[in-house]
Structure 1
Amino acid sequence: MTTVSTTTTTTTYTLPAQVDEKYPAVFHHEFRLEQRTDPSYTTTTSATSTPATPHQSSQTPEIRPLSPKTTQSALLLHGVGEQYTLVTDHAIPAISKPEEILVKIQAIGLNPVDWKGPAYNFGLPTLPWINGRDLAGIVVQTNTHDKNSRIRVGDRVLVPSTDYRDIRKAAFQQYAVATHFNAARIPESVCLQESASLGVAFVASVLALGVSLGLDFSGAQRCPGPNLVETVLGLDVEGIPVDIREQCLAAVPREERLRGGEWIAIWGASTTTGYITLQLAKLAGLTVICVADIARHGSRLHHLGADVLVDRQDPERAVDIIRGVTGGKLRYAVDIVGSETATLLERTLDDSVRDDGSRAHLLGLTGLPKVRKSGIVYHTVPIKLFHLSDVVGESMVGWLEALLETGALQLPEIVRREGGLGNVNESLEILRLGSVSGKRIVVDLEE
């Protein structure tokens, strides 16, 4: 590590204890699971089993309706530049497809887009609208009779809500719809509130490395993951939306794919996405350069396995250091901050075209250089692939379950805020001001 300054566990829980009147199952009406006294009615998860393994119990809890309940509390955005308005009479979303589930939300992870969208008028299909991309809670309704389904009523799940055009799936409400292949079960050993901080950042990291840059996670030593490039190759090309098709297929040539042993630079490594990208890169055997505020975040990044730490305070010197450490031969870089830092990272790359035709690769999560070089392939993240492809989504959440169960992925540090939906506006202002650095704000909705 170079610093440059300028057990298997088994958890058994009784389902009725988790699905009681505090967390009613709601579809068009409110339901309660009939209390079961049979002590054998349990669900067991183990670190040695495949997390995506369906529940094996053949018993189905009986459901009986209580008094009708069709409304909930939610945060509505009525206009650009406005704060969210708390309402108590918004319709509870209904599941309508076999792959959908309904989740009673217990915690919301806040993302910059939650305040930037309303402030700058993007990601708002219509008004009024509900936002929110990261949620965790308990499954209260499914729309399948498959007793072997991976997701069952009573499961604690985290859900990255990447399908922002479907208001039913937004996080700023008491109940949200999700698809089972976008929900990851939370092990009993993992804090639900911490899990709410993880989802969208994990999806962005996995798609960035595993699809856009072509990194194969199946060789990860501690917790093998999916080979998403091969998964994407198995999809119907016509079924991939045109606006993300190029990003999904850009890393297909084998000589272009990121491989274990390669160097990669991450600018913005102290962000949640950077934090996760570093961990996944190390699991896959990459040598990682992290650019961040080293005085504040260096110890944490070092603990996660960063090979080289470069301070961001002097950007020009950071560029020189990266080029010096890599001998001017760096071929892969990820920027998480914006177009300005992406342009700096571009200067660290070797933009020569190799004999086999391969080029350097630069991925920007929030922006890319305006002028492009012919020897560099530029990438964004095909985020919608996660919720449009059940095969891709299932492979990702299945791996996330394994990472959490085995402890191979460390969760972000959180700042937990109480007060429910009524405290979201104040919490977003804290996020906007940047007073919480290197941590995620999570709003607790538990009663």
Structure 2
Amino acid sequence: MSNWTPFRRLSMPWKNRPQDVQHSAVSDETREPPVVPEKQTVVLLHGPKQPYQVTEGYTVPKPDDEHEVLVKVQVIGLNPIDWKAPDFNFGIPELPYISGREFSGDVVQLPAKPSRLRLGEKVIAISTDYRDLKKAAYQEYAVAFDYNVVKLPPQISLREGATLGVAFVAAVLALGVSMGVDFSSVLDGPDLLTSLKKIGPEKLPADIRAECVDGIQEHERAKSGDWLVVWGGSATSANLSIQLARLAGLKVLVVVDKAKHGLRLSNHRVLRPDLLVDSHDPARAIDIIRANTQGKARFGIDTRGRDTASHLLRALAPDYVPSTANGSPPSPPATPESSTLLSAHLIGLTGLPKGEAPDGVMFHTVPIKLFHEVPEIGLALVTWLERLLEKGLLTAPEIVDVEKGFESINGALDRMRRGEISGGKLVVEVA
């Protein structure tokens, strides 16, 4: 067991707590930047299945690109990948490794060129590029692309900001690219498929190009009134997917362990779905989905893994799947532009069913690289998130608990391993 102190609810609201008070951005852009030390404390992984090690005297990373800024890390949002990567030895490009994909803090260094950011500004930094260690969260100072940084409005605390980043990016790309949702009617949000056509396939990373260009045909794009089935509705990614889908006018069906999360979701001001289904009996859940949507649910997001994605496939697949001479078609299958056939689209955030997609179904993985490798897309997403937060149209996931200091990270991840953190986010306050 880790040495952690249960988080006690205070009588005053989140936004008024002293540790969460937001300061306005520095108005004098010519002021001297704060002094940044040469060395810092980081949290290193030295090998698979090993605990992270708090290490002092590590060099502070330096921005070396016209888009890079330096951020003093204040609050880290923990993600399942932070413990799954060392436990199962994946997603670790080098050792020792610095982990952490999202954090909030203060801008302490700007690029030489004019920037949309200001020194001292409170921001969320979203690091989807796990190969670049200087952008990782488990350190005192981290680099971020200015088009991957979200300016926090005064009403959103640093703690709340640390819960939002990766889940928001995954949700927008799943809905906007893999499902083709057009968000332009929601505070001038992105129409990602149209933007990708303008950018051109030659400027997209090769390994995600097919998903971005051929993932969904124009006539199949999700629109207001369509059903979205989310299997694994307690995940943070599900939280943001549900909120964004509702903003776009989709009807949302959530499959979740009702014994754990049923009452919370059914009464939730923001997340209450159009239909809540218990995951305890998958076969029964599939029957309920098909019956209540009259077999017309074409879009599904699975947040849990291969087994539940296989259940979701059966919920979405057409009743009759014609056989072909050469077996199942590849995913995504070729569909003529003029065809009126509407396929089902299954997005696996953590895994897809084994084998090829059957006829009438297309499998999708989220093209997360778009966020950090295509500046136009990254900037469109973070500026839209700024507007959503400013106008109160998007709510940060609940904070289950707050740990303190780098030395608490291993114990916090142990709690996640044991399944103690569910229905919200665990954050670590390091400053």
Sort the TM-score into its range (normalised by shorter chain): 0.7 to 0.9
> Where do 1:228-239 residues align within 5 Å?
228-239=192-203
Which stretches in structure 2 are left out of the alignment for 5+ residues?
1-20, 322-334
- For the Cα contact (< 8 Å) 2:29–2:119, is it kept in 1? no
Question: 2 CA distance for matches of 1:424 and 1:124?
Answer: 18
Cα distance, 1:179 vs structure 2:
0.4
1:287-314 per-position Cα deviation (integer Å, ceiling 9, x unaligned):
1100112233234433324100001111
Aligned position for 2:349 = 365
Contact 1:275 1:301 (8 Å CA) reproduced: no
- What is the CA distance between 1:188 and its match in structure 2? 1.0
TM-score, normalised to structure 1, is 0.84
Structure 2 CA distance for aligned equivalents of residues 280 and 294 of structure 1: 22
Structure 2 residue 95 is the aligned partner of structure 1 residue 111:
no
* Contact kept in structure 1, 2:25 and 2:122, CA below 8 Å: no
CA RMSD of aligned residues (A): 2.1
CA distance in 1, matches of 2:253, 2:400: 27
What is the number of residues matched between the two proteins? 391
Give the whole-Å Cα distance in 1 for the aligned partners of 2:284 and 2:34.
Answer: 65
One-letter identity of the residue aligned with 1:238: E
Question: Under a length normalisation based on structure 2, what TM-score does the superposition of the two structures give?
Answer: 0.87
Residues 157-197 of structure 1: per-residue CA shift (max 9 Å, x gap): 11111011101000000000000000001111111111101
Q: 1:441 and 2:426 equivalent?
A: yes
| Partner of residue 243 from structure 2, selected from 260, 279, 286 | 279
- Give the conservation status (yes or no) of the 8 Å contact 1:421–1:443: yes
Q: Does 1:293 align with 2:257?
A: yes
Task: Tell me which residue corresponds to 1:410.
Answer: 395
Task: Compute the displacement of 1:252 (Å).
Answer: 4.9
- Matched residue type, 1:429: D
User: Would the aligned equivalents of 2:25 and 2:120 in 1 still touch at CA under 8 Å?
Assistant: no
Describe the superposition over 1:374-429 as per-residue Cα deviations: whole angstroms up to 9, x where unpaired: 21111000011100011100110011111111111111111343331111000000
Distance, in Å, in 1 between the alignment partners of 2:387 and 2:34 is: 35
Q: CA deviation at 1:64?
A: 6.6
Aligned match for 1:346, one of 307, 310, 313: 313
SS in 2 for 1:291: strand
In structure 2, what is the Cα distance between the partners aligned to 1:89 and 1:416?
Answer: 29
Deviation at 1:134, TM superposition (A): 1.1
Q: Which residue of 2 is the match for residue 61 of structure 1?
A: 30
Query: Which of these residues, 268, 271, 278, is aligned with residue 232 of structure 2?
Result: 268
Aligned to 1:182: 148
Q: Which runs of 5+ in 1 are unaligned?
A: 1-16, 20-41, 45-56
Q: How does 1:331-342 map to 2 (within 5 A)?
A: 331-342=298-309
Structure 1 residues 39-58: aligned runs within 5 Å: none
**Aligned-residue offset at 1:236:** 2.9
* Alignment pair present for 1:377 and 2:344: no
Does the 8 Å CA contact 2:205/2:373 hold for their aligned counterparts?
no
CA distance in 1, matches of 2:237, 2:159: 17
The answer (yes or no) to whether the contact 2:128–2:369 under 8 Å persists in 1 is: yes
Residue 420 (1) aligns with residue 386 (2): no
Instruction: Give the match for residue 312 of structure 1.
Output: 279
Return the alpha-carbon distance in structure 1 between the equivalents of residues 407 and 363 of structure 2: 41
Aligned to 2:219: 255
Contact 1:279 1:305 in 2 (8 A): no
Match of 1:70 among 14, 25, 38: 38
